[in-house]
Structure 1
């Protein structure tokens, strides 16, 4: 019993055990810094690839900043998806490129589709586009 109380006290004091609520949301969340070139590069990549995401800046959220410092020594950016860490910015982009290397993006009337390069894509007129 004393061990549990001590453990709770340590967690409360260090904040290492507290996972920020902002990272528990559904979807892709980028944790970064406005002045960080790596963060800007990651956000540009996500916009270019039409990946829906939300950006949370550590300078706007003390709880998030404390968590990033405790967990990662302050290194950024990080990508979370549905509350699960997907990796740092470089790892996320590399993994995304590997998972989507056989796909190309087709834009039609403001819609974006990921299409397998090895298969034909049929548009509204049933003619092969790719």
Structure 2
């Protein structure tokens, strides 16, 4: 299992690297392409077969994100709203954590900047 995960992950990384080098696309666009490919392969069962063979070699790739989005959408269209609600809840939670962390950092940085300015003016 470890060997197949290593092989699949290595082959996918090499393919995306070669694609990025020849097309001169920046890395975020290449990653978005990987997510799109994962989303396109999921309904046909191809990504599940690759996942069974390669295990974590596929799971850690960004293609798995496309599979997750497609699977969640298919579940929603099938009448099961639970997966999409869980993802939306996660997004809201992470957004709130980010806002709180930003406010705390701003408060700490503001105090530091004020102290530095006051000591420079003395």
Larger % of strand: which? 1
Is this a same-fold pair by TM over 0.5? no
State the structure with bigger RCO (CA 8 A, min sep 6), 1 or 2: 2
What range is the shorter-chain TM-score in?
under 0.3
Name the TM-score, length of structure 1 as normaliser: 0.23
